[in-house]
Amino acid sequence: MVGIVASVGRNGVHDFILLRASAIILVLYTLILAGFFIVTPPVTFEIWHGFFACTSIKVATMLALLALLVHAKIGVWQVLSDYVKPAFLRGALQFFFSVLLLAYVVYGFSIVWGV
């Protein structure tokens, strides 16, 4: 059996499944937030703070942030591989966006958990 060297451990099916799973997680999180706003018409800071003080909402928020990281990482990779042809520039942009997305997750973690 011959392995594909150019894939570096990635294949289209894996990316497809990750994109769909992360999209489902993001939709569910959006529905949670929309449900909160529908059920709680006068949203004040105290109510909002209490909502995000709940551990299950914190976990859901972190799961949504990680899903957003995966979704954006694959999307950026697909767009850059389609439209940026110079390998060095494509690699530099992928590195930049990967670091930026990771910083968003770390910053989101510190906001949600108060670290």
CATH code for the domain of 45: 1.20.1300.10
Which residues of the chain are modeled with pLDDT < 50? 5-6
Number of domains the chain contains: 1
Token duo for residue 18: 């990750």
What per-residue confidence (pLDDT) applies to 9?
58
CA 1 to chain centre: 35
What per-residue confidence (pLDDT) applies to 3?
53
State which residues form the domain around 92: 5-113
Token duo for residue 29: 């999180």
